[in-house]
Structure 1
Amino acid sequence: MNILDISLAGVVGTALMTAFMYAMTFLTERVLKVVKILGTMLTFQTSPDGKLSDRPRAISVGIIAHYFIGILFALCYGLLWSWGIGSPDLQSGIWLGIGSGLVAIAFWYGFFAIHPNPPAIPLKHYLVTLFLGHIVFAFGVIIAYNYLK
């Protein structure tokens, strides 16, 4: 496994997932902007009325954290492949996307539960869209990884 290739593939997958989440925000008119939600929560900048922060610090922290997590997920994929568990193909992409989506749902559900002032967003819709976003992420990682190697 080439760590640089899998890391770059993680960046591509994260970018595609982020674009998917923003497109779903536009199409559904729901608050699904993962970078803003993550940044707002990590910097504790939820407004008193539950809105997301537009401050540069919240946005930059959200971007950095989201891409870091995406690279970690991609490295986990590469580790699994190096152990002979799955391979960078479309069939594995489905399973990796489902697995990643379930991990993300558990993380976000817990994060909202323990956060002292989470944003007032429709959590159910966010988690379902996030699950689908992780399938987009997994396919993006696999396509980019196969292109790079």
Structure 2
Amino acid sequence: MKPVTNTLLAAATATSAMTLFSYIASHKEDENFSEPKLLATFLERSLNIEKEAAPPLGWLSHYLIGAGFGVGYKLFLKLGKTQASPLNGLLYGAAAGASGILWWKTMFENHPNPPKTHRKGYYTQLMIAHLIFGVTLSAFKDKRIV
């Protein structure tokens, strides 16, 4: 496979791992912590997208954002002249989580009709989900992938 395809595969795998964690946390806390569902609600309420079209667009948006973060990890490694490792994955995941929390916080605070969720709990699980994302990315140690 080509390096770009491999990076996108790594990002899709990492996005799936973090999303699985978010679904488990949602179930455990009886809250909506699902990034694709929350994105779908924002899209529906912001862009007047039909209710049936919003969920697939929420999932697509989530994976496109994950792809962007996957490419960002590759750049992080290249600029830092380092290799993928669990520690680098955690560091990158923490940075991605912090930026994600800032983005979601801005969306929740500035939208006239944001989705309902326990925000403090959401932000906590979002950070953990991004740590999982980063560590999962770091598992793709083959230079052709990351």
For the criterion TM > 0.5, the same-fold answer is yes
Within a 5 Å distance, the mapping from 1:11-30 to structure 2 comes to 11-30=12-31
In structure 1, the residue matched to 2:40 is: 39
How many residue pairs get matched? 139
Conserved 8 A contact 2:83-2:141? no
> Matched residues, percent identical?
27
In structure 2, the residue matched to 1:67 is: 63
Moved over 3 A (4+): none
2:28 and 2:118 map into 1 onto residues whose CA distance is: 15
Q: Shift of residue 7 of structure 1?
A: 1.2
Unaligned runs of 5+ in 2: none
Cα deviation 1:100-148 (Å, max 9, x = unaligned): 11000000000111112101211111111111100011111221x2266
Cα deviation 1:18-74 (Å, max 9, x = unaligned): 1000011112212211110111112217xxxxxxxxx43121011000000000001
Unaligned runs of 5+ in 1: 46-54
Conserved 8 A contact 1:16-1:140? yes
TM-score (normalizing by structure 1): 0.86
2:57 and 2:99 map into 1 onto residues whose CA distance is: 21
2:81 and 2:103 map into 1 onto residues whose CA distance is: 24
In structure 2, the residue matched to 1:94 is: 90
1:7 and 1:120 map into 2 onto residues whose CA distance is: 31
Counterpart amino acid of residue 131 in structure 1: M
What is the root-mean-square deviation in Å for CA atoms of aligned residues?
Answer: 1.8
TM-score (normalizing by structure 2): 0.88
